Every structure is written in structure tokens, then in C-alpha cells.
Structure 1
Amino acid sequence: MSLLQVKEISHSYRSRNFFNWKKNESQKVLDNITFSIDEGTCFGMLGSSGAGKSTLAKVILGLEKPESGKVLFQGHNFYTADKQIRHKIRRDLQVVFQDSYSSVNPRLTAEHIIAEPLENYEKLTVAEQKRTIIHLLERVGLNETDLKKYPHQFSGGQLQRINIARAISLKPKLIVLDESVSSLDMVNKNLILDLLMELKDEFGLSYFFITHDIKAAYTISDTIGILDKGKLVEFYDTKNQFFSSEHHVVKEMRNSILAEHPRYRTIRSNH
């Protein structure tokens, strides 16, 4: 059985028309989305801005109930499960967001940021918890001297490592990575991707990797889906299938890739 099953998910947002108060317009942001993620694998969801990626992440995380369809995590429907099952799902399903700074409380030290899930789910002594946090910091490339630092004392890449340490602290089954490397520079992006792949193998993690970055998706994903205007338009069992696809959305994505060095970039013109 798949770890995560997304079955025929559809969702819309309603917005009031200010010129006609009787009329509420409905905009479909997800349209009959179906896919699954197996244990120990990474599913990369590629899509441009406005494709519906963030809404899909909220639905999977149990933050936004879809209009129709089901999300099953370890066989349980997050939206119909009892309180005890939802508590277990929240432990096994973690998230790392795009903005590392807005994802943390600026008044908390790195130690307290990582301690939050441990305090909610584990019964550790003060000494055990501190040892665990130090180990997690070291595992993501930081060290004990960072325990008492506040978010503003870290770079974006360092703070994202703290968010990752917090996410893996409970040894979850699945981590949703919502544009988690898109705000980083090229060097930090590659370092974080390397770290994520190492942790995936070490802890047996599964990832739902949401991104608009083709290179990042290709680097980390086992399978790739293409989300366009709320629809899952293409799905690839192997990464090589993506680069041979003739789908117009995929071709546009491939054509948008810039060479890493400006010398090898060309200016495309529609004229």
C-alpha cells in the first residue's frame, strides 16, 4: 500500500464580484488530482506560479479541506479520521516551507525551535532532549554553538537547515517540501538538496517535493508530475521521460532553463 494516496482531489476558491454583490465567482484551483507516493521515494511536483501547488500542499497537510476527493495517509483519511489518528498523522507528516524566516518564531533560539515537536510528542528528560537537539543540529551541518542563536543570527541556508532538523526530529514518514530551496542561492540550494538526499536514505524518508525549479526536481525526485492550471497534465515514472516529453507545458519549462554561467545563456526572442 502506498504511503500517501491523493484521489480525485478538486478544490475551488470563491471570490465576491464587487460590481455585482449577488454574484460570487468560483475559481477552480485543483481539478481531479490523483497520484500516490510510496515509502522511501520522492515525488516531485513541478508547476509555475499559480498552478495550484501551494493549495495542494495545504490539502495534503490537512490545512485545507478539498471540495471533493480523498487524501489517505497510511490508509487513513485525514479529514474523517478520529482525534487519535490525526495526532499520529501529524507526527508522521512534516513540512518545510519556502521562507525559512517566517517558518520560525523570531523570539526562539535554534534549540527551542527544534524542541517544539519533541516537546509535543516525546517524553524526554532535559538532558535527553538537549542531546537529541545537538545531534540533529550536527546532522544538518550545524553544531552545539548554534543552540542559543536566534533566527536573525543565521543565514537563509542555515535557518533552512534548522527547519529541516525540526522536521526530521520525530523521524516522520513523509515530509512535504514546499518550494523549500527556491529562495536560496545556487550554492546553498545544491548543499540543501544534497542534505535532503542523504537524510532520505539515512532515515528512510519519503518526500513530496513541490517546486518550479526543473533542475532541483530532476536532482532529488524519483518520479515527476506536472501541475498546470490546477490539473496534473503529465506524470513520469522516470526522470529521463521528462526530458523527452513533447507536452507543450513541459517543453516551455525545458526552454526556460538558463545555463548556470551567463556566458552560456542565450536570449530567446518571439520575433
Structure 2
Amino acid sequence: MSLLQVKQVNLSFYSKRLFKGKDQPKVLKDISFDIQEGTCLGLIGTSGAGKSTLGRVILGIQRPDQGQVLFQGHDIYKADKHTRQKIRRDLQVVFQDSYSSVNPRMTAESIISEPLENYEKLTIEEQRRNVIELLERVGLSEKDLKKYPHQFSGGQLQRINIARAIALKPRLIVLDESVSSLDMVTQSLILQLLSDLKDDYGLAYLFITHDIKAAFSISDQIGMLEKGELLELYDSKDEFFASKHPVVKRLRDSVLSEHPRFRMIRTWENRV
């Protein structure tokens, strides 16, 4: 059985007074896909494609108009209280803005230990030991325990957010543009960390991004979202680059070569 199943999800944002009696414009249109245990689905799309909205639907934040979201076989919008608590434990998220994702008045220790306090019955010493292990697992150390968010770089703070997300050993993490605000070097390090954690903990990811290169560095499967529609799913990089879909081709062609010399060649070829 799939870990996550999204079945024919539709969602519209509307004002009843403004659009009364009319068809509502859909933000998400008949979205369906699965995520298997221990795999990563990269969801690519431009700004406004509906990626983050879909992420909120999967997290249980935004109820769809139609369709189902099944996590471990349970409909997250129809589950009882006990099941919802289990889902919240096993389904975590890391957002794009590392600073707005934390309380600026809390230390790194308090931020990471928050889910442990909510779900685990640990002694103070056991909890502190767990937090130190989590800090070290994401590349920080015990000396960072008492630091506040403003004392960390963006990349370091995102590591703390990741440590908080894995604290309860979840089954699935939604990564919503979680590396897009970082510089290229830090982004590469965080992506490697995420890949290592995926292998070590058997995690599954929904990796939401507009960055093709970032998606391919971590994903087992790629989905292309455009104007609320899931256009195609690709099982490999070769399948994606062989796609004839005009939206995929346009996005693919917008990716610059890493070396400036080859960017110039591509520009010249396009003019010929």
C-alpha cells in the first residue's frame, strides 16, 4: 500500500458573493498521485502553479472541495482524533523561510525539543540528549543548543528546522521550497543532508520546488504541475528531458548551463 495517496483532488478559492451562480476557477484540478515508502516525489512548477496549495492540502491545512488525501490508508480529513494525532506525528513539513518557521524567542534546543515534548514522555536529560544527537545529525553541535534564531545563518537555521522535522522519526516530510532561499553552496549541502537522512531513516519526501536541478538531485520521480494540473509524472531524468509537452519543454529550455561559456553557446544557437 502507498504511504500517501492523493485522489482526484480539486480546490477552488472564491468569494461566494462575487462568483455566485458561476463556475469557480480551480486552483487544483483533479490531482492524483502516490508516494511510496522511502521515496521522494519532486513536484516542479512555476510560481502560481499551485504547488504550495497542494502541499497545504496534503498537510491537512486546506480542505479540498473534492477528492481524498489518504495517509497510511486513512483519509486525513475524515480521521478520528486518535488517528489525526498519529498522522501529525508521522507527517512533517519544512517550509521555505527558515526564520518565519521558528519562534525568534526560542533557543535551538527549545525549537527542536517542541515535538518531543508533545509526543514523547522523556526525562529532561533524555530529551536534551536526543536534541544534541539531532543537532549533530544535521551538522551542528552541542554548543548551538542555547543559541537563538538570529545567531544562525539561513542554512544553519534550516538545519534546525530539519532536525525538528525528523525528531519524531516521521514517515513523510513535505519540503516546500525548503532550499530555494539559500545560496548555491548551502543549497547543495542541505540537499545532500536531505538525501542522507532519507537513506538513513527510510524517509519519504514530497519535494516542492521550481528548481529542476534541485529536484533531480534528490527525487525518485518527478511531477510537473502547471496552473493547478498535474501534467505528467516521470520516473527518470531521461523521461523528463524526452518529454514533448510544451510546458515541460519551456521550463527545460529555461535552465541555464552551469558554465557561462556554454550559456553563450546556447544563446547563439537559439538565434541561428
TM-score by length of 1: 0.95
Tell me the distance in 2 between the aligned counterparts of 1:14 and 1:121: 37
In structure 2, relative to structure 1, the CA distance for the partners of 1:123 and 1:181 (3 Å cut) is same
Asked whether the 8 Å contact 1:222–1:239 carries over to 2, the reply is: no
What aligned pairs does 1:77-92 form with structure 2 within 5 A after superposition?
Answer: 77-92=75-90
RMSD of aligned residue pairs (Cα, Å): 1.8
In structure 2, relative to structure 1, the CA distance for the partners of 1:15 and 1:265 (3 Å cut) is farther
Query: Percent sequence identity over matched residues?
Result: 68
**How many residues in Structure 1 have an aligned counterpart in Structure 2?**
269
The residue that corresponds to 2:13 in the other structure is 13
More moved, 21-30 vs 253-262: 21-30
Displacement after TM superposition at 1:33 (Å): 0.1
In structure 2, relative to structure 1, the CA distance for the partners of 1:64 and 1:109 (3 Å cut) is same
Match status 1:4 vs 2:4: yes
Amino acid at match of 1:144: E
The residue that corresponds to 1:58 in the other structure is 56
Asked whether the 8 Å contact 1:15–1:26 carries over to 2, the reply is: no
- SS of the equivalent of 1:149 reads coil
- SS of the equivalent of 1:252 reads helix
Tell me the distance in 1 between the aligned counterparts of 2:80 and 2:19: 39
More moved, 238-247 vs 167-176: 238-247
Q: When you count helix as a share of all residues, which structure comes out higher?
A: 2
Q: Which runs of 4+ in 1 moved over 4 A?
A: 20-25, 267-271
**Structure 2 residues without counterparts, runs of 5 or longer:** none
Tell me the distance in 1 between the aligned counterparts of 2:72 and 2:30: 21
The residue that corresponds to 1:172 in the other structure is 170
Match status 1:182 vs 2:180: yes
The residue that corresponds to 1:144 in the other structure is 142
Deviations along 1:212-239, whole A, 9 cap, x unmatched?
A: 0000011100000000000001111222
Tell me the distance in 2 between the aligned counterparts of 1:24 and 1:166: 44
Displacement after TM superposition at 1:254 (Å): 0.9
What aligned pairs does 1:1-271 form with structure 2 within 5 A after superposition?
Answer: 1-15=1-15, 26-266=24-264, 267=267
Amino acid at match of 1:203: Y
In structure 2, relative to structure 1, the CA distance for the partners of 1:201 and 1:21 (3 Å cut) is closer
Amino acid at match of 1:41: T
In structure 2, relative to structure 1, the CA distance for the partners of 1:122 and 1:157 (3 Å cut) is same
More moved, 197-206 vs 261-270: 261-270
Tell me the distance in 2 between the aligned counterparts of 1:63 and 1:238: 31
